[in-house]
Amino acid sequence: MNIALHGIGLGGGIAIGQAFILDKDLEDVAQFTLEDSEVATEVLRFENALRSTRKELEYLRGNIPYDAPAELGAFLSLNIMMLSDSQIAQAPVELIKRESCNAEWAIKLQADYLSHQFDEMEDEYLKERKTDVVQVLERIFRNLEGNKFDWNDEGKFERGILVTRDLSPADLVHFKDSNFAGFITDFGSRTSHTAIVGRNLDIPAVVGVANARQFVREDEIIIVDGIQGVVIINPDKIVLNEYKRRKKEWLESRQKLRAIRKDETVTKDGVKVEIFANIEVPDDVEDVKYNNAAGIGLFRSEFLFFSQDNHIASEEEQFEAYLKVVKVMKKLPITIRTADLGADKNPLWNSSHGEAENPALGLTGIRLSLAEHGFFRTQLRAILRASHYGKIQIMFPMISSAWELKQAVNQLELAKEELREEKIPFDNEIKVGSMIEIPAAALSLKGIFNYADFISIGTNDLIQYLLAIDRNDESVSYLYDPLHPAVLQVISHVIRTANKENIPVSICGEMAGNVKLTRLLLGMGLRKFSMYSANILNVKKIILNSDVADIANKVSKILRSESRERIYELVDQLNEDIELF
């Protein structure tokens, strides 16, 4: 019997395979009686899992994703502290010895005991802490030898479908190199960082499929339609054959896209457009070259600081990372954005700043860099040194005013002076750019143009700040709307003003890689797009099949509309003659 579930499709086509349930549940644990000679080994197995859990949590605390909630650091610290509590660290050991049982059963017994204790409490706040305690025990359970998940298993998981509660951005880094054909999650919003990273892996995926794990059984055949956001469990022969046909069509369409890789990106009426790539780590450049991008429009350098536990990348390490990219890209332009870190990341060297109540409005981006001169100067020196070997540009994040940009440029000049004194070569004419992702910056462009050679619109944060919406909060993420009239007006204003002043302008946020918006942005006057490599050929296809002169009037009509429904209708009409993926 077919069971169809719906969620949020992240694209990547269609995958068909056997289900693998990542999350083993304490409720399903069986009890095994041990021989006396096996008890000591089982205690050691538990203690090893406890150590692995502590190491895992400490690593996560030192490598919190850049857009994580402010309370995440405190939450992880609390979990680490719990690991030292006797009710978690010692009680399961005593149960293993007293009951001669397996570690899984001991953890389950202790979780049930603690849950009951919390349920008996009268204080509502303390009752709610039950979840925190049980989650720590579940993490230890998953780290027991035999339960721990190996992303690179060559056997059972090959071309299978991963089914899980949720995947973090860090998990998706593992997923990229795993043998899975696709994944589905119970949780996830359209605008979360996990969804953004997932979309750009170009792997069939559907997130936010509520209770998926309750319906899917291990090894069951499931279909993941990342295009339509549909998951089909145990499909019958007719449905299976239909999706095999659709999958074949999808793969054939992708093959056709590869044929345009080397084509010049020019519209039907001869307007030249440049498509750049976004990268997070140096290894991403191979995909950039394969898709024939015009260069790198956004190197998110902050990811260099997430790779090692409690470690700030040195000048030499940063220099080597930038140089690696330069060597692959050769003479193509590379825009390196200085680290867009913030109080919510709270790496070891930034611990004195504590936890911000609202990190998006706190010490983040260029504000943090200007507050941490030593850290900032080290990165500027590394970028400048690499600029001697390639066509590097530097861009500053979260600029809100010309004054702020001026301070950043002053620090750049000081770094240049240091290198001159040390007789270290660099590009003295290196171009300087500013991210436009704060509404204040979008409304004070002329002052910013006094210090910026180019600008790039960061639509992800710009929309968030304009609409006062946390895009990671599932309860309000539905309000995150790139087609909101105010969003379109601001983006159009930035593009129009930059073009008038002959300042190069690009968009490097999610909107740049959304094929539904390509013609809209072309009609606004955008000629430089920057996106994840997975989206380049799809967007290129739209550009090659567009006539700017024809769409200009239609886009003007869209910009004059104040109705959300009418805007969506007009955007659909703008794309009605071409197939979108």
Closest CA to 313 of 371, 362, 383: 383
For helices 402-421 and 373-387, angle between their N-to-C axes, nearest 10 degrees: 60
Whether the CB-CB separation of 543 and 271 falls below 8 Å is answered with: no
CB-based contact 17:181 (threshold 8 Å): yes
Measure the CA–CA gap between 285 and 334, rounded to whole angstroms: 11
Distant-in-sequence, close-in-space partners of 579: CB < 8 Å, separation ≥ 6? none
Q: Are 400 and 362 in contact (CB under 8 A)?
A: no
Alpha-carbon span 216 to 98, nearest angstrom: 37
Q: Say if CB 300 and CB 435 are below 8 A apart.
A: no
* DSSP per position, 536-555: HHHHHHHHHT--HHHHHHHH
Question: What are the two backbone dihedrals, phi and then psi, of residue 239, each rounded to the nearest 5 degrees?
Answer: -65, -45
Q: Is 311 a catalytic residue?
A: no
Cα(412)–Cα(455) distance, integer angstroms: 17
For residue 446, the Cα-to-chain-centroid distance in whole angstroms is 32
Which is nearest to 339 in space by CA: 357, 353, 321? 321
* Annotated active-site residue in 6, 193, 311, 373: 193
- Residue 508: active-site member: yes
Cβ contacts of 232 within 8 Å, gap of 6 or more: 2, 3, 4, 5, 222, 223, 225, 239, 243
Helix, strand or coil for residue 295? coil
Catalytic residues: 193, 508
